[in-house]
Amino acid sequence: MIGINCLQPMPEMFNCSTAAKPASSAKNIMDSFSNILNQGLQKVNTLENQSNVLTQMLVSGEVENIHDVMIAAEKAEVAINLTMNIRDKVIRAYDEIMAMGSR
């Protein structure tokens, strides 16, 4: 049987650089959330624009591969539907929070 004296402390536990950092300020969190939201909306907008360009190119005869046009259109539709669902959930959460204050 091995004695308890053979246990060695882990050096990482005593390293100050790995210690827990203080929580970020509310402003940093809001900026981060805002950036994530803006990036997501920009991506949805890009997908919608790509779909519109490919559709116009198909109509004008510049693109013959309808498969790529349909894929771009479906990607844009899925992204828009996801965005709308997220918006609806945020509104519901906001309404619930506002209702808590009136109870």
pLDDT tens, residue by residue, 32-73:
888 999 999 999 999 999 999 999 999 999 998 999 999 999
| pLDDT reported for residue 28 | 84
Query: To the nearest whole number, what is the mean pLDDT of the chain?
Result: 84
How far apart are alpha carbons 39 and 82 in whole angstroms? Answer: 14
Residues 100, 6: Cα–Cα separation, whole Å: 56
Residue range(s) defining the domain that contains residue 79: 25-101
Taking residues 7-18, what's their average pLDDT?
55
Percentage of the residues of the chain whose pLDDT score is greater than 90? 62
- The answer to whether residue 86 sits within a structural domain is yes
Asked if the structure places residue 8 within a domain, the reply is no
* pTM of the model as a whole: 0.66
Residue at 10 is within a domain? no
Please report whether residue 3 resides in a domain.
no
Distance CA 16, CA 14 (A): 6
| Core vs surface per residue 82-96: b (16+ CB within 10 A) or e | eeeeeeeeeeeeeee
Of the two residues 22 and 101, the one the predictor is more confident about is 101
Predicted pLDDT at 5:
56
List, as own/partner pairs, every contact residues 53-61 make where C-beta atoms lie below 8 angstroms and the sequence separation is at least 24, other chains included. Answer: none
The SS3 call for residue 68 is: helix
- Whether 94 is in a domain gets the answer yes
How many domains does the structure of the chain reveal? 1
Q: Is the pLDDT of residue 16 over 80?
A: no
Which of 51, 44, 56 has the alpha carbon at shortest distance from 84? Answer: 44
